[in-house]
Amino acid sequence: MTSDQPATPAEPRQPAEPAAPAEPAAPAETQPRTTGEQSRPRVAVVFGGRSSEHAVSCATAAGVLRAIDREKYDVVPIGITRDGQWVLAADDPERFELTAAHTPEVEPSPSRVVLPLSTRETALTVLEAGQPPVELGAVDVVFPVLHGPFGEDGTLQGFLELSDVRYVGSGVFASAAGMDKHYMKVVFAGHGIPVGPYVVISDRAWRADPAAALERCSALSYPVFVKPSRAGSSMGITKVAGPSGLEAAIETARQHDPKVLVEEGISGREIECAVLEGHGTDAPHTSFVGEIEVHANHAFYDFEAKYLSEADVDLSCPADLPPEVSDEVRRLAAAAFESLGCEGLARVDCFYTVDGRVVVNEINTMPGFTPSSMYPRMWAASGLAYPELIDELLSLALERRTGLR
């Protein structure tokens, strides 16, 4: 889906009609491989990873592992440790839940998992020093629920492309551009999608002349939000009320990414929309529009508000908006999805400003995916329950072509 003109977004499914979309007949070349008596598609749920969002990825995996239809899919949990080791993980959702009292972690193991390394191979293999390789059988589709760099940013997607392994979600370019808030905004603006004012501070520019970088930010009105360009889950973000706090905020963001984005604060309501790829030539579907309201203890929708302090946040869907505003949010969400050539799923975050405009803030090509996360909640409100949403994403992934990116 690379058309410059986005298709009109399909109507969200009504709550009174909760049935999932009809499953398409897969062409012969996309039928799952079989291993012995097994006829169910084998799904490798890959999670954890090297980014600062490791624990969030584990929490997403817990939700998927708990809800996926085990009668329809053969599930293999694969964790990636913080130093990049791939291991066969416990099929235990409780172990990977994120709470205020428990930060989940993929633990190292003496053995490691190897995915297919060529287009002629299909099997997962377990390797351990001093032991013969053990084959776990063919993998039909990977569900990569990694967030942040080294997973959501096109790196894992490129690895899977090398061996023609099908996977859930966007491809290399859309994942990379969706991760980098700078280039995301460049693509959006090039397609006529409204974005707010911002300044990019590269690593070289900051090290060479920080005073000049700070001066460029004077074109923005305060408050501003200082963000790592390539991070998520509100990691490293600071709300800055005036120039005196800007330098420290940039240094905080640089702990997560040497490239930093300084965005002018936009006065308005935070609105979100979930997008789901259509089958075949169908236009992407958009959910009912949701709204986030942080009402206590947080300056903005930060990491703690997102994952640890649900009582401090109200998430409403459908949002109480004029119908024409909801329609515009959904139109822009579909346009953002198509402008990057996204596949599978995405969540698009917008502002509805005090002067009645809709401005796109960013897109997330692998949004938080626990049952309480905004993406599945918006689809649930639109008539597509969490288990059916997982099934739909796997169905889309099994349809995708390989070797012709």
Local confidence band at 372 (pLDDT 50, 70, 90 cut-offs)? confident
For 157-221, give the DSSP string.
HHHHHHTT--BSS--HHHHHHHH-HHHHHHHHHHTT-----EEEE-HHHHHH-HHHHHHHGGGSP
Which of 92, 128, 89, 131 has its CA nearest to residue 112? 128
Q: Is the pLDDT of residue 314 over 60?
A: yes
Q: Is pLDDT larger for residue 404 or for residue 153?
A: 153
pLDDT for position 295: 63
Q: What size, in residues, is the chain? A: 405
pLDDT for position 34: 42
Local confidence band at 401 (pLDDT 50, 70, 90 cut-offs)? confident
Report the alpha-carbon distance of residue 296 to residue 127 in Å, rounded: 49
CATH 3.10.20.740 corresponds to the domain 28-169: no
Q: Max Cα separation, the chain? A: 67
Model confidence pLDDT, tens digit, residues 51-97: 888 999 999 999 999 999 999 999 999 999 999 999 999 999 999 99
Residue limits of CATH 3.30.1490.20 in the chain: 197-265
pLDDT for position 258: 96
Local confidence band at 293 (pLDDT 50, 70, 90 cut-offs)? confident
Q: Is the pLDDT of residue 323 over 60?
A: yes
Residue 114 in contact with residue 124, Cβ under 8 Å? yes
Which of 52, 53, 63, 133 has its CA nearest to residue 96? 63
The CATH architecture annotation of domain 197-265 reads: 2-Layer Sandwich (3.30)
Q: Is pLDDT larger for residue 184 or for residue 293?
A: 184
Q: Is pLDDT larger for residue 33 or for residue 217?
A: 217
Local confidence band at 282 (pLDDT 50, 70, 90 cut-offs)? very high
Residue 52 in contact with residue 231, Cβ under 8 Å? yes
Residue limits of CATH 3.40.50.20 in the chain: 28-169
Q: Is the pLDDT of residue 148 over 90?
A: no
Residue 394 in contact with residue 141, Cβ under 8 Å? yes
Q: Is pLDDT larger for residue 263 or for residue 2?
A: 263
pLDDT for position 20: 39
